[in-house]
Amino acid sequence: MDTKVSRGIALIYILDNFMPRRKERFSFLAKALKAAGGTAEAGSKLAGYKDFKDGKKTIEVTKKLTSAQRQRKKIALLPFNFTPPADLQPDNHYTTLITVYSNAGRTDLALTNGQLGYTATAAGNISENTFYPALLRVFVPTNAETPEITNPTSQITGNFLIQQSGI
């Protein structure tokens, strides 16, 4: 694998299918709000979450993708933890979707199709509703030697966060 990836320096790329990938972002607050009967003390984290759920607070999205970047293209890939035979056949690959943005990110890192197990789709590829590609989220710091750390505040809970600049 590419040394950039082995050091954990890579760009986010996501193989897009519509699999539920994680629990609700604020699941602990959702449970607490339910347990409190839908009420919260003013100025608390729970009140901030309630305002968010009621539409009084919103999250500002700063990294907005264009419609062209959100377009999906079909690819075929080898599943993880699969040792391919010496003579790869189309029926060794599963079809899935990847966004143009994600595909460009892995290209920017000089990751080849062979390194990631990608290939062009072909007749004979396996297409199953039960197959979900792995979700890979990787962070590339702007400057790994001297990271730029900021402490913004959560737009929902008011908690102080620790962020490192990067993509």
Report the distance separating Cα 156 and Cα 46, nearest Å.
9
Q: What is the mean pLDDT of residues 86-113?
A: 83
State if pTM tops 0.95.
no
Structure tokens at 113: 């199709």
Sheet of 135-136: strand order equals 118-119, 72-77, 94-99, 13-16, 135-136
Q: Beta strand pairing status for 135-136 and 72-77?
A: unpaired
Write the burial class of residue 30 (CB in 10 Å: 0-12 exposed, 13-18 middle, 19+ buried).
middle
* 9-54 confidence digits (pLDDT tens): 333 333 433 444 555 678 888 888 999 999 999 989 899 999 998 9
Report the distance separating Cα 44 and Cα 158, nearest Å.
8
Length of the chain: 167
Which residues, in sequence order, are CB contacts of 51 under 8 Å at separation 6+?
57
Q: Is the pLDDT of residue 72 over 60?
A: yes
Which backbone phi and psi does 79 adopt, to 5 degrees?
-70, 150
Q: Is the pLDDT of residue 2 over 80?
A: no
45-53 helix and 27-35 helix, angle to the nearest 10 degrees: 100
For position 127, what pLDDT does the model report? 84
Q: Is the pLDDT of residue 75 over 80?
A: yes
Q: Is the pLDDT of residue 67 over 90?
A: yes
Structure tokens at 148: 């730029």
* 109-128 confidence digits (pLDDT tens): 888 887 877 888 888 888 88
For position 11, what pLDDT does the model report? 35
Report the distance separating Cα 41 and Cα 138, nearest Å.
37
Sequence letter at residue 14:
I
